[in-house]
Amino acid sequence: MKITIKDVARMANVSVSTVSRVINNSPTVGSDIRQRVLDVLEATQFRPNAIARTLVKNNSSLIGVLLPEIKNNVLDDMVEGINQVARLYGYDVVIALSGGNAESELHYYNLFREMQASGIIVSASGIRDSLFELIEASQIPCILVGRDFREKSIPSVHVDNVSAAYEAVTYLIQQGHRDIAMLRGAQGDISAGNHRFQGYEQALTAAHLPVRAERVLESALSVEEGAASMRKLYESGPLPSAVFCATDRIAIGAMNFLAEIGVKVPEQVSFFGFDDIDMTVIIRPKLSTVRYSASELGMVAARNLIKLIRGEELSAFHWSVSHQLKIRDSIARLK
Amino acid sequence: MKITIKDVARMANVSVSTVSRVINNSPTVGSDIRQRVLDVLEATQFRPNAIARTLVKNNSSLIGVLLPEIKNNVLDDMVEGINQVARLYGYDVVIALSGGNAESELHYYNLFREMQASGIIVSASGIRDSLFELIEASQIPCILVGRDFREKSIPSVHVDNVSAAYEAVTYLIQQGHRDIAMLRGAQGDISAGNHRFQGYEQALTAAHLPVRAERVLESALSVEEGAASMRKLYESGPLPSAVFCATDRIAIGAMNFLAEIGVKVPEQVSFFGFDDIDMTVIIRPKLSTVRYSASELGMVAARNLIKLIRGEELSAFHWSVSHQLKIRDSIARLK
DNA sequence: TTACTTTCAGAAAACCTTTTCTGGATGTGC
DNA sequence: GCACATCCAGAAAAGGTTTTCTGAAAGTAA
């Protein structure tokens, strides 16, 4: 049998209202009675039913975070950032994992809605249009993370993927590379990959280099898929002099494949990654990559979501987080 | 203004009870009226308030998962496993991240309690005694994962860390190693590390080898800490011929440190890891390690938690999940 | 037709809090 | 001693849903 506020009231010989007032630190209760209630509270280890409280207050103080998966190393830091500012403002954050599955995605988004979450943060890699429509239709505060959605009607925070990719590829060009391939994310699935591809395109074009379709391969984000894509590239003709990868994991898989067949990095092929996960400095050669702060991503998202919840004015509708190139050992300078 | 079941009832010209019955597929409503309600439901996109429902049903169908962090690669697979069976049985799973912080740990555990979660799964690495007492005191179904708690009163599922470590270290001994160091997790913090250390001790003792305190170093679970511990070991005297590490991440960090100072693995020092994360086959030499199925861990936990929730008889109180040695290139055979 | 059962929808209670409203007791100013 | 304000605690309403209870209408058997 679960203990309720009624039980506490009975045991302390006061009304339920009084108990509630003590729990919520209302000053309008005498110190002797307050102490009596406090004692019972302590003795019973009573925790108020948040469900009932949310119902009457019509406010859950809950922020839902919807992620596709967590293997992706950057998400841990991001959630950490969200947690940090959310807790500061008195919100709790709970996470749901969609497994990258459209049905799950909708299910958990709706769960957050039904749980009366105050707001929702959606990690946008892999997000489907169906979820989009739902977000736009429902009036619950929501922020997208990790994907550049300048064109859309939902506020978002992201790395400026286009610029970052542009800078990375331009660096490769400056090092003398002319035949630069790209291992991008799957076309429809991850929009960050799309934007990184745009940056790649723009950099080549700006340098009057051709963008050749056979030099651009799709790959899922995993190490294994990176290796598979690299194999395809290898088998399809002469090796490019450099490869720009949509994520570090793809790059690591690709480099590993080359190592196994005896191709030397960076002597024969140079590599550029994206994300700066911890393994970039473990593998040999150390991977050059684009670094950004995932926790900052989370903090900006949480901060603005809370503004949205409170009905405050937003300073902007889309924010980006700074990035920088980390040049390490995976790039050869061509004369 | 939020739309409620009352609004739907009014619009369909029926009572709220009838709407509720339609939503919950009660057969006791005529087909013409049902259709009328269904139409309004469709038109309004109404979602019942889960908060109110939980309050009256006294059943949330929610499983809370409390994790220290998610950078640890195995947790993703574990949650995947939990999700899979939970959804099968009609439960939703939400995750909270404690950041390995005692206060957060209690906070989120209590949040799950207050949210009337049907059950809770706690990933036990890093768990504090305060949380323990709380779990034992509250009568809400709970299962511990990832740590061997045979001695405790809370049901748990885990890898048999003692045996697995015993087998790994015994393998090293069979390969001719006599001076085997261990990089274990921090003493109090991670109990899996404790049990893995026990296995290490037992294997040495069984082979009549001494367990020398200066050969056992504590290390947090990260790559960076693994490197730091290895540096300490290196500076404290002659190198051991083999190192058994409590996790792959520690091993990877340690091996990387040796690579940087020019010590050859496995020629000069052999390595054994634990977890079989994806990077074990990427680094050179490929790391020998202990493999187990994290998703199985999650599935067993979820399955038994649901039994507990339903009040069914448990087949056991502690379960273990199978493991196997993955022998790769990080171990030299000594003559 | 009568008496009875069956079908189906509405009324109302219940779930557990918070909060407004009410009113009794006490204190204050004249 | 009276009018009034102040303080504090209890009563009750509210929040949105589910479910039991009730009862009207329709159907069935004699």
The rounded distance, in Å, linking the Cα atoms of A157 and B197 is: 44
Q: How far is the CA of B310 from the C1' of C15 (A)?
A: 21
Instruction: Assess if residue A335 is contained within a domain.
Output: no
Yes or no, beta carbons of A51 and B115 under 8 Å apart: yes
Nearest residue to B298 (alpha-carbon basis) of B124, B146, B104: B146
Same domain, yes or no: A153 and A297: yes
- One pLDDT digit (tens) per residue for chain B, 335 residues: 788 999 999 999 999 999 999 999 888 888 889 999 999 999 988 999 999 999 999 889 999 999 987 776 678 889 999 999 999 999 999 999 988 788 899 999 999 999 999 999 998 766 677 888 889 888 899 999 977 666 678 899 989 999 999 999 999 999 999 999 999 977 655 567 788 999 999 999 999 999 999 999 988 777 888 999 999 999 999 999 999 999 999 999 999 999 999 999 999 999 999 999 888 999 999 999 999 999 999 999 999 999 999 999 898 999 999 999 999 999 999 97
Average pLDDT over residues A182-208: 85
Write out the E strands in A72-179: 92-97, 119-123, 142-145, 156-159
The pair of structure tokens assigned to A300 is 């900006």
Same domain, yes or no: B38 and B126: no
Yes or no, beta carbons of A73 and B69 under 8 Å apart: no
- Asked if strand C comes closer than 7 Å to A54 Cβ, the answer is no
Instruction: Give tens-digit pLDDT for A62-93.
Output: 999 999 877 766 788 899 999 999 999 999 99
pLDDT tops 90 at residue A231: yes
Yes or no, beta carbons of A69 and B76 under 8 Å apart: yes
Chain A: closest CA distance from residue B305 (Å): 18
Q: Is B329 an 8 Å CB contact of chain A?
A: no
Instruction: Assess if residue A30 is contained within a domain.
Output: yes
Contact A310, A303 (CB under 8 A): no
The rounded distance, in Å, linking the Cα atoms of B151 and B164 is: 19
Same domain, yes or no: B189 and B80: no
The rounded distance, in Å, linking the Cα atoms of B11 and B191 is: 58
Q: Which 8-47 residues of chain B approach strand D with CB closer than 7 Å?
A: 16-17, 19-21, 23-24, 46
Same domain, yes or no: B276 and B301: no
Same domain, yes or no: B154 and B300: yes
Instruction: Assess if residue B97 is contained within a domain.
Output: yes
> Which of chain B's residues have a Cβ under 8 Å away from the Cβ of A271?
none
Least CB–CB distance from B47: residue in A64, A113, A278: A113
Instruction: Assess if residue B335 is contained within a domain.
Output: no
Chain B: closest CA distance from residue A203 (Å): 31
* Alpha-carbon distances of B128 from B123, B165, B291, rounded to whole Å: 11, 24, 27
pLDDT tops 80 at residue A179: yes
pLDDT of residue B190: 55
> Which of chain A's residues have a Cβ under 8 Å away from the Cβ of B107?
92
Instruction: For an interface test with A, give the residue of B84, B91, B97 to mutate (most A CBs within 10 A).
Output: B97
The rounded distance, in Å, linking the Cα atoms of B50 and B33 is: 24
The H-or-E segment that residue A52 falls in is helix A50-57
pLDDT tops 70 at residue A207: yes
Which nucleotide's C1' is closest to B6 (Cα)?
Answer: D16
> Which residues have CB under 8 Å from A289's CB, separation 6+?
A248, A251, A272, A273, A274, A275, A276, A280, A325, A326, A328
Residue in chain A lying closest to B58 (CA) = A51
Nearest residue to B304 (alpha-carbon basis) of B317, B321, B323: B317
Q: Provide the mean pLDDT of chain A.
A: 91
What nucleotides of chain C have any atom within 7 angstroms of a protein Cβ? 7-12, 14-20
Same domain, yes or no: B232 and B247: yes
HSE at residue B193, side-chain half, CA atoms within 13 A, is 24
Q: Which residue carries 């503004």 as its tokens?
A: A307
Instruction: Give tens-digit pLDDT for B209-250.
Output: 999 999 999 887 778 889 999 999 999 999 999 999 999 999
Same domain, yes or no: B236 and B125: no
pLDDT of residue A34: 92
Instruction: Assess if residue A262 is contained within a domain.
Output: yes
How many of the other CB atoms lie within 10 Å of CB of B146? 31
Instruction: Give tens-digit pLDDT for A299-313.
Output: 999 999 999 999 998
- Asked if strand C comes closer than 7 Å to A2 Cβ, the answer is yes
- Asked if strand D comes closer than 7 Å to B53 Cβ, the answer is yes
Cis peptide before A238 (omega within 30 of 0): no
pLDDT tops 80 at residue A190: no
Helix/strand/coil for B318: strand
Chain A: closest CA distance from residue B318 (Å): 27
Q: How far is the CA of A23 from the C1' of D9 (A)?
A: 15
Same domain, yes or no: A133 and A249: no
pLDDT tops 80 at residue A150: no
Dihedrals phi, psi of B242, to nearest 5 degrees: -150, 155
pLDDT of residue A325: 97
Q: Domain with A312 in it: what CATH number?
A: 3.40.50.2300
Q: Domain with A28 in it: what CATH number?
A: 1.10.260.40
Same domain, yes or no: B131 and B121: yes
Q: Is A75 an 8 Å CB contact of chain B?
A: yes
Residue in chain B lying closest to A56 (CA) = B52
The rounded distance, in Å, linking the Cα atoms of A66 and A108 is: 7
Least CB–CB distance from B282: residue in A94, A110, A283: A283
The pair of structure tokens assigned to A226 is 């990176």
Nearest residue to A92 (alpha-carbon basis) of B168, B113, B21: B113
The rounded distance, in Å, linking the Cα atoms of A134 and A132 is: 5
The rounded distance, in Å, linking the Cα atoms of B83 and A95 is: 12
Yes or no, beta carbons of A97 and B92 under 8 Å apart: no
pLDDT of residue A39: 93
The rounded distance, in Å, linking the Cα atoms of B65 and B81 is: 12
> Which of chain A's residues have a Cβ under 8 Å away from the Cβ of B282?
223, 252-253, 256, 279, 283
The conformational region for residue B276 under phi > 0 = left, psi -120 to 50 = alpha, else beta, is: left
Contact A112, A124 (CB under 8 A): no
Same domain, yes or no: A280 and A203: yes
- Asked if strand C comes closer than 7 Å to A20 Cβ, the answer is yes
> Which residues have CB under 8 Å from B149's CB, separation 6+?
B124, B156, B158, B191, B318
Instruction: Assess if residue A329 is contained within a domain.
Output: no
Which nucleotide's C1' is closest to B55 (Cα)?
Answer: C15
Yes or no, beta carbons of B73 and A71 under 8 Å apart: yes
pLDDT of residue A89: 94
Q: Is B45 an 8 Å CB contact of chain A?
A: yes
Yes or no, beta carbons of B116 and A50 under 8 Å apart: yes
- Asked if strand C comes closer than 7 Å to B60 Cβ, the answer is no
Report how many Cβ contacts below 8 Å link chain A to chain B. Answer: 124
The rounded distance, in Å, linking the Cα atoms of A144 and A157 is: 6
Comparison of pLDDT for A276 and B128, the residue scoring more:
A276
Q: How far is the CA of A31 from the C1' of C29 (A)?
A: 28
Q: Which residue carries 């590390």 as its tokens?
A: B193
- Asked if strand D comes closer than 7 Å to B6 Cβ, the answer is yes
Which nucleotide's C1' is closest to B53 (Cα)?
Answer: D17
At B161, the amino acid letter reads N
- Asked if strand D comes closer than 7 Å to B297 Cβ, the answer is no
Average pLDDT over residues A146-166: 84
Which nucleotide's C1' is closest to B49 (Cα)?
Answer: D16
Instruction: Assess if residue B277 is contained within a domain.
Output: yes
Same domain, yes or no: A174 and A149: no
Which nucleotide's C1' is closest to A55 (Cα)?
Answer: D15
Cis peptide before B48 (omega within 30 of 0): no
Average pLDDT over residues A192-202: 89
Domain span at residue A108 reads 57-159+293-322
pLDDT of residue B72: 66
Chain B: closest CA distance from residue A121 (Å): 14
Residue in chain B lying closest to A139 (CA) = B2
pLDDT tops 60 at residue A188: no
Chain centre to alpha carbon of residue B270: 28
Contact A203, A166 (CB under 8 A): yes
Touching A: B residues 260-299, CB under 8 Å: 278-279, 281-284
The rounded distance, in Å, linking the Cα atoms of A120 and A306 is: 10
* Count of domains for chain B: 3
The rounded distance, in Å, linking the Cα atoms of A122 and A144 is: 5
The H-or-E segment that residue B167 falls in is helix B161-174
Instruction: Assess if residue A93 is contained within a domain.
Output: yes
Instruction: Give tens-digit pLDDT for A101-134.
Output: 888 999 999 999 999 999 999 987 666 778 888 8
Same domain, yes or no: B244 and B307: no
